[in-house]
Amino acid sequence: MRKLLYLILLLPFVAISQEIPSFLLNLSEITVKSGHNAQFVEGVKSWKKCYKDNDGKDEWSMWRRVQGEGTVYTMTSTMANWAEMDDDNDPAGKECRMIVVNLIMPHVKSVHYNIARSIPDFSRSTAMPEDTKLVWVYNVKTSNSTSFKECVGELTSALKKAEGDSRGIWYSLQGGAPEIADYFIGIPFKNFADLDVERDGVWKIYEKANGKAKADALRAKIRASISSDWSYMYNLSEELSF
């Protein structure tokens, strides 16, 4: 299935097992043609049913972007290592190939495929909770990667001391187009109501632990290391995930 996704849709956040080591995350951002969302959804449902009926083994999650222009989904899956890219033993994927061609692709405006690697030192020590239905993704392009990672390391250390763990999983992009992020973090939430829970921000936590002067210095350092940043929320589409 993974090979088929790469070759046809270039498609490929699923839950990962506990105590997560570094892993690879396949990300396919799918922009749906204006007015075609219903047809796209039905096409993915048909593909999912075909894959399930043919005893497909691979898993994926489909996330719909909450903000921004147009209708955008990100389809994700994980790999333990690069060698999994060589595995094309997926009879179910091959059996369902033409559903992708005939029922999904006519409704797709564009697909952008990327691969990211998790950064365990900066990330939560356990997998995303099984009840995660919403993920807040913060993206960064850096002008000084070394300085940026030093700052994230200090912030993460303060957060882990205060709360016992990091709140999300950090990733570094593995190559890709000039406009894509260099790093991003995915922070899980149960639902939108979970966003209403009041929590200290990471800067407030750092300042409480280290004082205002040190917090201001670190804030200036990280700002100087970032050339641009942006964030989106993504809502899990369970009916399109497998």
Q: Could you state, in order of their start, the residue ranges of all structural domains in the chain?
A: 1-242
pTM of the predicted model over 0.85: yes
Give the mean model confidence (pLDDT) for residues 226-234.
98
Tell me: pLDDT of 18 over 90: no
pLDDT of residue 40: 98
Q: At what angle do helices 202-210 and 212-225 cross, to 10 degrees?
A: 130
Of the pLDDT bands very low, low, confident and very high (cuts 50, 70, 90), residue 19 is low
Convert the pLDDT of each residue in 159-212 to its tens digit.
Answer: 999 999 999 999 999 998 899 999 999 999 999 999 999 999 999 999 999 999
- CATH architecture, domain defined by 1-242: 2-Layer Sandwich (3.30)
